[in-house]
Chains A and B, each alone.
Chain A
Amino acid sequence: MQLASSSLYSEGTQDGWEANLALRFARRGSRTSLVERRHRGPLKVQRPFYPEGDVCHLYLLHPPGGLVGGDRLHIKVEVEEGAAAMLTTPGAAKFYRSLGPSAEQHQVLRISDRASLEWLPQENILFPGANALLSTQIDLSATARFIGWEISCLGLPANRQRFESGRADLQLRIDRDGEPLLWDRLRVQGADDLDGSSSLRGMPVVGTLIATGADEETLQLARSAATPDDRTLLGITRIDDLLVARALGQTTDQVRAKLTAIWASIRPALLGRPATPPRIWAT
């Protein structure tokens, strides 16, 4: 495997540190290789591994200390033509209380024709008082395949700490060949926003799963695989070939369980592979 790698630890500024991670996957022979890995600052990846043969699996390691005000994290992932990659994280991304400046995580995922990316990170935890901007931009070529989710937990429900102070700006945008397919931006600032009748309804965990290449059958598979229950709201829709599943719940586990079940139900149809949950989820 060819691996272009460079490491340059950025100096922390008085306003926080800046970390960059750029990954590029390309088809090399019968499997997908991580052909480029550049990082700066406390954001790293583990060695790629191949539990399914051709698909490149990779763990992305967030800075162990989480993000505080002033920190900036930039993640860029490119999947070249015909390549297939799955990215997960072994731990949650944490946004701690800020004294003012925002902590930002910007993710750009670019997928070329006949390539696929699965983006299945653990949740983002926004501590009470955090000022967090999390943006995920997905750029698709015409025949690119994507299945991914973002799960965010506002506050610390296990400790009964609501996100009553602080700000959250959670953005999700998907474009195909430069045309916007979905633009979703959840803003929370203050207790009123936590209880909005048509927005969060007092539920601290919000999750969105997106999949491309879906048809009516895919929608039915997803709807049979996961249904709302007393504790978790769940709605699945299909906008042209874009499957969008949204969940609201009291705990991250409940929301992730719903989205995992949907992922498992549609993966064989959309990517032609059986769904074996990444081992790291079991630990």
Chain B
Amino acid sequence: MTAVIRVMATISMATDLALLRLLHLASPSLPTGAFTYSQSLEWAVEHGWLTSVAELENWLGDQVQTTLTGVDLPLLARLHDASIRQDDAALGSWSALLLASRETHELRCEETNRGRALADLLVSLAVAGAAERKPLLARTQVTGFAYAAAQWGIDQRQALLGYGWSWMENLVLAAVKSIPLGQTQGQQALSRLLARIPKAVETALALDDDTIGASSPALAIASSLHETQYTRLFRS
């Protein structure tokens, strides 16, 4: 009896630690420079597309349906699987597809810069296997996120939810700074937008390989124009 309780307590503590690791991985204070990117939101604000909370929710809500559901989340799931299997070939090919789905120079630079910073961090945190795979993990930030989640025993669905949270929080904060919005307004928007993430994760987990892919033409155009925007706070 005591042995069973002891085993259950060990399992429970392992799950508890995995949750804490996920909070760590999804934290905005992770030193990967997330806060310096707006994913073309800054141009959309300057161009008058985003002037209110409602317009912000449409802008990000649309991306939840397209890019997050069609590219980021299903590829994160595949990269997580590949990390568990220690399948470096699959890590490489899904990372390449993720990068090819980033539509502009700036969006790719964001992905690779954050990827490099995260890979450095994972090595310094002594994540198993990160040092010998550093060039692979550095290719995209999604790759490093998936690999760390797998090594830290974070359940795949939880990892996708955490990624969705981290992405959404970062862009809402960028909007609060650039529209600008009040802190409370920002938190209200974030709270409503987060309610869309579970369905995105559910849909993404059910996608076949040949249904992956997305396109956001207006976002891609905004990002292309952000590259030459005169006054910029953000790097994308």
Contacts and interface: CB of A to CB of B under 8 A. Distances in A.
Contacts of B221: 228, 233-235, 246-248
Contacts of B191: none
Interface stretch (A27-35, A106-114, A196-204): A196-204
Given A197-B58, A233-B221, A248-B221, A184 B213 contact: yes
Contacts of B215: 170, 184-187, 199
A61 interface: no
A182 B222 CA distance: 18
Contacts of A179: 96
B70 interface: yes
A228 B218 CA distance: 12
Interface in B177-235: 213-225, 227-228
Identify which of B61, B219, B224 gathers the most chain A CB atoms within 10 Å of its CB: B224
Interface residues of A, number: 33
Contact of B100 (A181, A196, A237, A246): A181
B103 interface: yes
Interface string B40-71: 00001000010000010011011101100010
A143 interface: no
Interface stretch (B11-19, B104-112, B115-123, B130-138): B104-112
Interface of B is mostly: helix
Contacts of B227: 237
Given A238-B105, A239-B104, A244-B104, A199 B216 contact: yes
A234 B220 CA distance: 10
Interface string B162-188: 000000000000000000000000000
A199 B100 contact: no
Interface string A177-210: 0011111111100000000111111000010000
A236 interface: yes
B111 to A, nearest CB: 11
A40 interface: no
B90 to A, nearest CB: 14
Contacts of A180: 96-97, 99-100
B61 to A, nearest CB: 8
Nearest to B98: A183
A198 B63 contact: yes
Interface in A200-257: 200-201, 206, 223, 228, 233-239, 244, 246-248
Nearest to B41: A198
Contacts of A223: 228
Contacts of A228: 221, 225
A171 interface: yes
Q: Which of A173, A233, A239, A244 has the most B CB atoms < 10 Å from its CB?
A: A239
Given A180-B96, A183-B213, A237-B227, A200 B104 contact: no
Contact of B217 (A174, A181, A200, A238): A200
Contacts of A187: 66, 70, 213-215
B214 A246 contact: no
B101 interface: yes
Nearest to A172: B215
Contacts of B96: 179-180
Nearest to A173: B100
A248 B217 contact: yes
A194 to B, nearest CB: 11
15 contacts: A182-B100, A183-B213, A185-B213, A186-B214, A187-B214, A196-B62, A196-B216, A197-B61, A199-B215, A199-B217, A235-B220, A235-B224, A236-B224, A237-B227, A244-B103
Interface of A: 170-171, 173-174, 179-187, 196-201, 206, 223, 228, 233-239, 244, 246-248
Given A200-B217, A201-B218, 5 more contacts: A180-B97, A197-B61, A198-B63, A198-B216, A237-B106
